[in-house]
Structures are given as structure tokens and as C-alpha cells.
Amino acid sequence: MTTTECGLATECGLLTERRLLTEHDLFFACFNGEFGRVKEIIEQMFYIELTHSLASGYTAFDYFVMKNGPVDILRLMIDRLADKQTVLDQSILLFNISDDMILFLLDAGADPNAREDHTDSNFTRLLRRGVLHHMVKALLDHGAAPNSPNRRGSYALDACSPSTELLLMQYGATKSKFPCNLAYRAAFIIIDMMLYGMGLKNDWIIGIKGYIY
């Protein structure tokens, strides 16, 4: 191998190592909330292909969103995402993110009607979590379908709290042919009030409510 070839090989090796370190650093910068460092790293990357942490299941983007990072940096990250639509669709389901962040993600292109095979839509899942009235309106204004049935054939009106029923009806929502048991709905409302009072929003709790609805 000539001196020139050795030099090129060394340079390529350094570039490869730098790219791997950059992706690694991006995750931990987001995890630690080091937003200035996040911007520096993103500006060095042509595209970002996110990987999920084996420990938590979250990506660098998830941590940035959950820590309510600056939207100008978030917009820069979104522009470089390799799978932008999927990431955005999944991001609005993250726990403990602010309403303003959800609105930003919706404006950036997150689909409230997105769903994986045999699961509820994002809109239905957020309704089951008990999102506040103004957020339900925001989701509807961004194209959420109020009459899209969940996996059990129930509509939004079958699973929402009484405070959002009138709003959903204003957007054309109707009840399914098989409305849920009223006792279940009353239990759903009481449980939601208790959980949000205690600040609990665990996956297994949502799974229980999903079973009811």
C-alpha cells in the first residue's frame, strides 16, 4: 500500500469513527439535556437514523422531546431524520411531554390518525389518557378522525370523558352501535381523575383502560 493509500485509509477510518461517535454522543446529549451540544452534533450530520436504547426503549429524539428541548433545535433534528414521518407519528404518544410540544409535533407533521396494525389510532390512545379539552380540539383541528373505530369497534364518543363529548359531536362524532357499559365509563372517569392527581400514567394502566374500551 502506498503512502497516499495509507493516508486515505486512515482518513476514512477517522471519518467512520467520528460518525459513530457522533451518533453515540447525540443520544447521551439528548439524554442529559445538553441542548447546545445537541445542536453542535446535529449540524455535523447529514441525516439521523435513530436507534432505540436497549435499556429504556427510547431514542435520542424521544429524550429531546420529553425534556422539552428548544423547538429551533428540534426543527433542525426533524429536517435530518431518516424516517421523519414514523418518528413524528410515534412521538406524540410519549409520556410526560408538554401540550406545547404536542402542538409543535402536530404542526411538524405528526399524524393523529396514525396507527400500527391492529392497534388504536394516536387520537384514540390520547383520548384514553384523558388529554385536556383544548388538546382534543387541537388534535381534531389537525385532522383527527372522531369516528375512526378502535380495535374493539368503539368510537371516540364511547371512550371520552363527558367534558369532551360536546366538542367531539361538534366535529361530527357519533357513538358506535355497541356503546360501552355506563358503569365502566364512570369507573374510567374516576380512575383518570385519581391517576392524574397522583401523576401516574403507566403503560399497564393504559392497557387496563384499553381492555375496557
Residues 82 and 14 in one domain: yes
Q: Which of 84, 87, 83, 90 is nearest to 119 (CA)?
A: 90
Residues 90 and 129 in one domain: no
pTM: 0.69
Report the pLDDT value the prediction gives residue 147, as an integer from 0 to 100.
86
First to last CA, the chain: 68
pLDDT along the chain (213 residues), means of 10: 44 43 84 94 87 85 94 93 90 88 93 80 83 89 86 73 84 69 58 63 47 46
Residues 149 and 167 in one domain: yes
Report the pLDDT value the prediction gives residue 118, as an integer from 0 to 100.
59
Report the pLDDT value the prediction gives residue 157, as an integer from 0 to 100.
79
Residues 1 and 106 in one domain: yes
Alpha-carbon distance of 92 to 34, in angstroms, equals 22
As for how many domains the chain has, the answer is 2
Residues 97 and 165 in one domain: no
Alpha-carbon distance of 100 to 68, in angstroms, equals 9
Residues 141 and 211 in one domain: yes
Alpha-carbon distance of 32 to 49, in angstroms, equals 19
Domain boundary residue, one of 110, 145, 161: 110
DSSP secondary structure string for all residues of 20-69: HHHHHHHHHHHHTT-HHHHHHHHTT-S-B-----TTT---HHHHHHHTT-
Residues 181 and 138 in one domain: yes
Structural domain containing residue 27: 1-110
DSSP secondary structure string for all residues of 130-167: T--HHHHHHHHHTT--TT---TTS--HHHHS-HHHHHH
Residues 103 and 177 in one domain: no
Report the pLDDT value the prediction gives residue 12, as an integer from 0 to 100.
42
Q: C-alpha 109: how far from its chain's center? A: 12
Residues 79 and 10 in one domain: yes
Report the pLDDT value the prediction gives residue 121, as an integer from 0 to 100.
85
Residues 72 and 103 in one domain: yes
Report the pLDDT value the prediction gives residue 70, as an integer from 0 to 100.
95
Domain boundary residue, one of 110, 142, 167: 110
Residues 81 and 123 in one domain: no
Domain containing residue 88: CATH number: 1.25.40
Domain boundary residue, one of 81, 110, 139: 110
Contact yes or no for 25/41 (Cβ under 8 A): yes
